[in-house]
Chains A and B, each alone.
Chain A
Amino acid sequence: MTTPLGRPSVEPLSDLAWGRVERDLMAALDRAPVAAPPPAPRRPWWPRAAIAGGLVAAAAIALLALWPRGGGPRHDLPSRVVTASAPTTVSFGDAAITIAPSSALVLGGRQDTGVAIVLERGSARFAVAPRAGRPPFVVHAGAVDVRVVGTEFTVTRSGDAARVDVAHGVVEVVGHGQRSLLQAGQSWHSDRVRDAALRGSDPTMQGDVAAALLLDAAQPAEPALAEPAEQAEPPPPAATARPRPGPPADPRAAFEAASALEASDPAGALRAYRALARGTGPWAANALYAAARLALDREDAALAARLARSYLARFPGGANAADAAAILERTQGAPE
């Protein structure tokens, strides 16, 4: 063999196949939640019998030693709490959590290393001791993270969207790549931040509204619930020639926001993808391919072909190069 043949090529899976895999995987996870603790290893009976007595004594000693400074339960494995038609209140370390009806959350972490709570759905009110000198206390609600500084607050989750209302103290919210510090009486909603981020990266809209919607850490506390969007200044009147906005600060968040918009506003999602694709890096590549795919879904073969060609020209070795080539093949005959 004189000419090297190279390594065998890896045949890519189609978008359709990946869609099936993801859909079936998520359905399987819904049917049987995973993250089970590791199975206990099988051991012969006699070593256990031999040390059982010693363990009992050691446990009693440890219990006596730890009891005075225990201060509450320690949690190594996550516990899941689901409410039906009535609310319920649980204590978790130094926090009291009131869970609204039809809600579900997972309590995880440990008091001594940090508490992580995942709000799966619904709403929960948290009364948490100030964290100064204490390990972190974080609530995850979809793509939004709420880090407690020391406060009483409510997190409400609806799908991937989340709302945070602070009653007392201060919390830090991270969502869609933006970080905000909320004080007593202030509220935050991920949808508003997402929409603002999208508008900020869309050249057809006014500049970066997202920054105006986010609360400033130095902003004084409002006496009542104050929505950040209502505090924002209205955008200035449209200018005839506007500079093209730069790439978004967090391209990944912009991509996810565009992705979330696909079902409700595909035209807006397409604009957002194309705006993001003007940048550089992997998220620009992902956005350019997503724009081509979405254009094809919307039966705009000419645009899909143009975007797929652009993808192959700019990212010939990209993760979706084979898929872009497939789009191009499916749109054969579309104008250049």
Chain B
Amino acid sequence: MSSPQPVLTDRDVALAARCASGDRGAQRELFQRTRVVVHHTLFRILGSNQDMEDLLQETFLEIFRSIGRYAARSALTTWCCAIASHVALGHLRSRKRPTVALELVPEIAGSGPNAERVALAREAARRLYAALDKIDPVHRVAFTLAVVDGRPLAEVAELTEASLSAVKTRVWRARKELDRLARRDPVLSGYVAELAGQEEAP
């Protein structure tokens, strides 16, 4: 995630308190403030906008149900993303069989010097999420947040309510599983290596 990590402010605490008291204006404000990052988190984990409207609604309902328990240990945005991660994990677990997100990125007829690269990136992303459908959802959530989205491991630990060492293990296991699935797929193996390289870069 390229944006800096949000910082906890008094405004977060006040907004959460107003939401908890049922103030509809505050609930709308929180929705408007966090909808983009919540969608970003869900999309990164799931890889498509399939069922996204239902998942966004489920996430925000859960946010408003739980807002009374917001303990101001992290920024409100981060707290909302943690709930989104939890909802995404539940969605992955409840899916009867994995679906390959064929519409992962909308097809746009392209031309010009970048067209081939864009098409290749789209295909690589499609294969990545198809492979992610085959691995443990818990490992997938950690991997997509840390490697695909590039969030710091400490933040991933916060979002998934896990220890730092648990997150490291999950990411490592996801990488192993993906390497195994990509043995005969140079596009996927190269893409996973590239993303992992970005994650490891300072």
Q: Hey, which chain B residues are within 8 Å of A78, CB to CB?
A: 20-22
Q: Which residues 147-183 in B have Cβ within 8 Å of A in the complex?
A: 148-150
Are B22 and A120 in touch, CB under 8 angstroms?
yes
Are B128 and A140 in touch, CB under 8 angstroms?
no
Given the interface pairs A21-B56, A120-B22, the reply to whether A36 lies near B65 with Cβ below 8 Å is yes
Are A34 and B24 in touch, CB under 8 angstroms?
no
Are A25 and B57 in touch, CB under 8 angstroms?
yes
Given the interface pairs A9-B105, A35-B65, A108-B21, the reply to whether A29 lies near B27 with Cβ below 8 Å is yes
- Which A-chain residue is minimally distant from B48 (CB atoms)? A11
**A interface, over-half SS:** loop
Out of B43, B44, B68, name the residue touching A38 (CB < 8 Å).
Answer: B68
Out of A7, A29, A143, name the residue touching B64 (CB < 8 Å).
Answer: A29
Question: Which stretch from A12-20, A236-244, A269-277 is at the chain B interface?
Answer: A12-20
A262 close to B (CB within 8 Å) = no
Question: Which stretch from B31-39, B74-82, B85-93, B134-142 is at the chain A interface?
Answer: B31-39
Are B57 and A24 in touch, CB under 8 angstroms?
yes
Residue among A17, A34, A36 with most chain B CB within 10 A: A34
Q: What 0/1 pattern do residues 46 to 78 of A give for CB contact below 8 A with B? A: 000000000000000000000000000000001
Are B69 and A38 in touch, CB under 8 angstroms?
yes
Q: What 0/1 pattern do residues 154 to 190 of A give for CB contact below 8 A with B? A: 0000001000000000000000000000000000000
Chain A interface size band reads 35 or more
A302 close to B (CB within 8 Å) = no
CB distance from A282 to the nearest CB of B (A): 11
Are B21 and A106 in touch, CB under 8 angstroms?
yes
Given the interface pairs A8-B104, A28-B57, A38-B69, the reply to whether A3 lies near B117 with Cβ below 8 Å is yes
B187 close to A (CB within 8 Å) = yes
Are B47 and A8 in touch, CB under 8 angstroms?
yes
Residue among A8, A9, A118 with most chain B CB within 10 A: A8
Out of A18, A21, A24, A80, name the residue touching B22 (CB < 8 Å).
Answer: A80
Binding site for B on A (CB under 8 A): 1, 3-13, 17-18, 20-22, 24-26, 28-29, 33-38, 78, 80, 106, 108, 116, 118, 120, 140, 142-143, 160, 319
> Which 9 pairs show the lowest CB-CB distances between chains A and B?
A1-B190, A8-B125, A5-B121, A34-B64, A34-B65, A118-B21, A108-B21, A10-B43, A35-B20
25 A-B residue pairings within 8 Å (CB atoms): A1-B186, A5-B124, A8-B129, A9-B105, A10-B40, A11-B104, A11-B105, A12-B39, A13-B52, A13-B53, A21-B35, A21-B57, A28-B57, A29-B61, A35-B21, A35-B22, A35-B64, A36-B68, A106-B21, A120-B24, A140-B18, A140-B23, A143-B25, A160-B25, A319-B36
